[in-house]
Amino acid sequence: MTILSNGNLWKHSEFIKNKSFSFDKNKILKSLSKKEIDDAYSSISCWEGYSPTPLIELNKLSKDLNLNKIFYKDESKRFDLKSFKALGGAYAVEKVSKGNKDIIVATATAGNHGRSVAWGARRLGLKCKIFISEFVSNARGKAMADLGADVIKVKGNYEKSLIECIKQSTENNWQIVQDVAWKDYMIVPKYTMAGYTVMMKEVIDQINHNNISHIILQAGVGGMAGAMIAGIARYMRNIPETIVVEPDSAACVMESIKTGKIEKIDIKRESLMGGMSCGEVSLVPWEILKNSVKYCISLPDDDIAKTMRLLGNGNFSNEKIIAGENSAPGVISLIASCEDEKIKQTMKLNKESNILLIGCEGDTDEEMYQKLINHK
C-alpha cells in the first residue's frame, strides 16, 4: 500500500489478461502502415505552431510506488486545443479536403475530436458541422462554436449523435471526418489514427535511451490506443507491456477481448470520463488491439477528481500538471495495480519499470475541471 492511499485502496473494477495476446509488429503495420505514420509526422510537424508536447517525469509518484520512472506525456500543451485529439481530426480534415475549399466537413463528438475537426476546418477555410449528444457540456459545445463550427445538439448519447451525423451528411453530401470506423468507412479513421502516432514519435525522441517497459493507454472507441501501439511497432525496438484502461460503464475493448470479437456495450450511465464513454470499439483499431493489448483494466469514477487534484497540486511530480478527467485513468490504474500485489506481480511492475502514461487532455472544459478539482 502506498502513502497515497491513507488506508483507502485506489480502485480497479476489473482486470483481465488477454488470452490471445501476440504482439506482431508486421501485422500491426498492415493495419496502419509505416508510410501512413511517417506521412502524418512529416505533415503535422510542419504546421504553424507545432512543437512536441512535454514528457514529464512523475518522480514523486515513482518513488512512492517503488518504480524506476513514470513518464507522463502532457497533451494539455497541444496547440491551443489542450488535447491529443488536435493531431487526429485536423490531420484527417487536411487529407480529405485535398485543397478543395468548397467541401463541408462533419463529425460527431464528445468534445475534443470535434474541436480538432473544427480547428482543422478553420485553418483550411472550410465550413464545419459538429453533432454532439445532450450529455456534452455547454462549455465544450461553445468551444467548438468559437472555432467557427455549426454545433448541432442531438437527444441521446454519443451513438445517437453519430447516427444523426451520418444521416444528415448523406442527405447533404457533407464529408464525414470521424475517428470511428465502420464497414465501408475505414480510410478517414486511419488518417485520424495516423495523426495520433505523432505522440509516439515525440516520446521516442524525448526518453533519452530509457526503454519503456509498460504503456497504459486510455480507450473510448480505441483509436488512440491502437495508434500508440502502431507507433510502438513503428518506432520502438523493445515491446513494452501494453495495458488498456476504460470506464467500467463502457469497457467495450475489454469485453471484446474477452470474446475475441467486437462486443457492443449498452451504456446505462455516463462516466465522468466522458471522452471514453463509448459503447463499441472501432473496426480499424480493433484489428490492432485484439492481439496486441496484453492487459485490460476497467475503473469506476471514484478516483478521477482526486487524481486530477493531486496532479494539479504537484503531489506526483515537481511540476503542477493540469489534467482533465480523461487524463486521470492511466495514473489511477497504475496506482491501483501497484497496490494489488497479485496484479503488480502479474504485470511485472517493479523497481526496474519505466512506465509511459498519456495525459491526453488538459482543462478542455474549464468549468468542469474547476468543479472536479475543488470537489472534496
Looking at the structure, tell me whether residues 95 and 228 fall in a common domain: no
Per-residue model confidence (pLDDT) at position 7: 57
What local confidence, expressed as pLDDT, does residue 4 receive? Answer: 60
Question: What is the DSSP code (8-state) at residue 52?
Answer: P
Q: What is the pLDDT of residues 10-37, one digit of tens each?
A: 889 999 999 999 999 999 999 999 999 9
Do 199 and 170 lie in one domain? The reply is no
- Residue 109 in any domain: the answer is yes
Asked which of 157, 183, 209 is the last residue of a domain, the reply is 183
7 assigned to some structural domain: no
Which pLDDT does position 327 carry in this prediction?
96
Q: How many domains does the chain have?
A: 2
Cα–Cα distance measured from residue 249 to residue 14, given in angstroms and rounded to the nearest whole number: 11
Separation CA 141–CA 186 (nearest Å): 27
Q: Can you give the pLDDT at residue 199?
A: 98
Give the tens place of pLDDT for each residue, 24-71. Answer: 999 999 999 999 999 999 999 999 999 999 999 999 999 999 999 999
Q: How far apart are CA 217 and CA 220, in angstroms?
A: 10
Question: Is 151 a domain residue?
Answer: yes
Domain that holds residue 145: 85-183
CA dist 363 and 296 (Å) reads 26
Q: Are residues 68 and 160 in the same domain?
A: no
- Residue at 2 is within a domain: no
| Among 359, 31, 80, 30, residue whose Cα is nearest residue 189 | 31
| Residues 130, 67 share a domain | no
Mark whether 291 and 325 lie in a shared domain: yes
Whether residues 279 and 259 fall in one domain: yes
Select from 183, 202, 221 the last residue of a domain: 183
pLDDT less than 70: residues of the chain: 1-8, 376
Burial of residue 172 (CB within 10 Å: 0-12, 13-18, 19+) is exposed
**Is 188 part of any domain?**
no
Q: Are residues 369 and 258 in the same domain?
A: yes
Query: Rounded CA gap, 85 and 117, in Å?
Result: 9
Whether 36 and 101 map to the same domain: the answer is no
Q: Are residues 330 and 264 in the same domain?
A: yes
DSSP symbol at 53: P
CATH number of the domain that residue 226 is part of: 3.40.50.1100
Residue 211 inside a domain? The answer is: yes
Task: Let me know whether 238 and 270 are in one domain.
Answer: yes
**Is the residue at 8 inside a domain?**
no
- Give yes or no: residues 235 and 369 share one domain: yes
The verdict on 287 and 145 lying in the same domain is: no
Last residue of a domain, one of 183, 216, 231: 183
Residue 3 in domain: no
